[in-house]
Structure 1
Amino acid sequence: MSDLKAVALKAVSCLDLTNLDDDCTEEDVIALCKRAQTPHGPTAAICIWPRFVAAARTHLGDNSPIRIATVVNFPGGMDDADDVMALTEQAIADGADEIDMVIPWPKLIEGHDQDVSAIVGRVRRSADGALVKAILETGMLREPDLISRAARLAIEGGAHFIKTSTGKVPVNATLSSARLMLEAIRDSGEPVGFKPAGGVKSTNDAAAYIALCEEIMGDGWVTPMTFRIGASGVLTALLATLDDDGEPTEGEGY
């Protein structure tokens, strides 16, 4: 197997196949569930709106290797905290395995650091053991110090993963923001994972993030338990690499 094929195979197993389109339907979610079971093995998860979690769980069943992730405090990061907890609890009741939550990044820009760790901690408690990924929205934080602070605060709050972006803003995952986040994970000493999301469109893009993870965290660190890619379109490119069909690019990923 070529190096690029090995990367593609690993990336498929670490993919959170995503549909967070505003016009998404239940039929779209069922199609996403089917697409996540690829000829080269299942993706790590699907990532969908909370209102579709129950339908996805019914379709996938209780023993599926494909996990169900959903989003809260999304996309702006400034929803009422009690509403966020209620939505988290309902999503878990409906069958979600993972919660991708947006931190209140506008509050962080204003200097209210404690608001970040506090809401991450509350979501983790409301998630009742489910995996919690904290979305930093690095493209809006922009400055390296803010990104590093957001990462540290999310980790302090108990996030199992830190994630770059919602995919809903002009600038999403970048290798520079990924480096800052991975360095924060390394320096924390905590077993926290990393998820780039938005703009990962090709096998070469996936390879760049995997290589960066291995540079900072060490060879063998990248597994579905520590690394995810949030994307809607990159699966087509990964499968093309595995099937020797070239590497087409399909739309922007979340």
Structure 2
Amino acid sequence: MNIKQYLDSTYLKTAEQAGITEQENILIAQEFIKEAITQNFKLIMLRPDRVALARKMIQEANSIVQIGTVIDFPEGKSSIEDKLKEASQAIESGADDLDFVCNYNAFKNGNIDLIKEEIVKGTSLGLSNGKVVKWIIEVAALTEKEIIQLCSLIKNVVVSNFEQELFPKVFIKSSTGFYKTQNNLPNGATIPVIKIMLDNAAPLPVKAAGGVRSYEEAITMIELGVKRIGTSGALAIANGKNTNNSY
């Protein structure tokens, strides 16, 4: 198994979150991009304002590393129109994957029609432009029952509105990695949560993100059926080590 082809190497901190200057943050992003190219990871996952930089560096290196970005990150509560605008700009900048944060608070409040609409419109925009689309459900904000319900909802909307050959390009993704939990509870992918997602997302693929910190855990998730793993510690995991990175 080439674990690197499952890894979306991720750097999503703003300068403020990292406690550094904007220029220092750009340099860190550049190092992540270089590392992804050198290590031949599946994808480099960055904020939308770093997509053009990544595209330039990857083209100059004649690399096939793909570029992903996050949409409406990290809370997912913007309007559908704003989500689509941000996604369109990311496509223009050269993104290959669009990881939308689902409006999970609207879902929890029972606004199912809004969720259906954003899934249809966001997925349609991505697929019509040849992109991979992922829907982040933020598992730490949901109960087990809600995880089952939201995975099933997304699956049913996609299956009902898109052709079967496109299903492998629409993922359900566990987490942003930035959700603040109480008492330091896990804020992302755990083995039990991933099992629930896999059971309820099929035939859509699942991406595990947030909290994957060891090679062994990554391998277990892949063996369970996960198709992508998002981590800011991709190099350590690829080298069979643990990472202390926070997402």
**Is TM more than 0.5 here?**
yes
Offset at residue 53 of structure 1 (A) = 0.7
Q: Which residue of structure 2 lines up, in the alignment, with residue 193 of structure 1?
A: 205
Q: Which residue of structure 1 lines up, in the alignment, with residue 55 of structure 2?
A: 57
Matches of 1:75 and 1:161 in 2, distance apart?
Answer: 17
| Structure 2 letter corresponding to 1:176 | P
Offset at residue 68 of structure 1 (A) = 0.4
Task: Give structure 1 stretches of 5+ with no counterpart.
Answer: 1-5, 214-221, 242-246
Deviations 1:12-38, CA, capped at 9 Å, x for gaps: 211000000121733222211111134
Q: Which residue of structure 1 lines up, in the alignment, with residue 217 of structure 2?
A: 205
Higher mean C-alpha deviation, range 13-22 or range 166-175: 166-175
Offset at residue 238 of structure 1 (A) = 2.3
- Structure 2 residue aligned with 1:44, among 29, 39, 42? 42
- Structure 2 residue aligned with 1:175, among 191, 204, 213? 191
Matches of 1:114 and 1:81 in 2, distance apart?
Answer: 12
| Structure 1 letter corresponding to 2:193 | S
Q: Which residue of structure 2 lines up, in the alignment, with residue 132 of structure 1?
A: 133
Task: Give structure 2 stretches of 5+ with no counterpart.
Answer: 16-21, 159-168, 182-186
Q: Which residue of structure 2 lines up, in the alignment, with residue 250 of structure 1?
A: 244
Relative to the length of structure 1, the TM-score reads 0.81
Work out the percentage of aligned pairs sharing the same amino acid.
30
Deviations 1:137-185, CA, capped at 9 Å, x for gaps: 01101x2221011112222333700000000013211112211110113
How many residues are paired up?
A: 220
Q: Which residue of structure 1 lines up, in the alignment, with residue 30 of structure 2?
A: 30
Q: Which residue of structure 1 lines up, in the alignment, with residue 9 of structure 2?
A: 17
Matches of 1:237 and 1:91 in 2, distance apart?
Answer: 28
Deviations 1:79-101, CA, capped at 9 Å, x for gaps: 12211111100100110001000
Matches of 2:244 and 2:125 in 1, distance apart?
Answer: 35
Q: Flag the 1:248–1:160 CA change in 2: closer, same or farther, 3 A.
A: closer
Offset at residue 200 of structure 1 (A) = 0.6
Q: Flag the 1:178–1:130 CA change in 2: closer, same or farther, 3 A.
A: same
The answer to which structure has the higher helix fraction is: 2
Q: Deviating runs (4+, > 4 A) in structure 1?
A: none
Offset at residue 117 of structure 1 (A) = 2.3
Relative to the length of structure 2, the TM-score reads 0.83
Conserved in 2, the CA contact under 8 Å of 1:236 and 1:250?
A: no
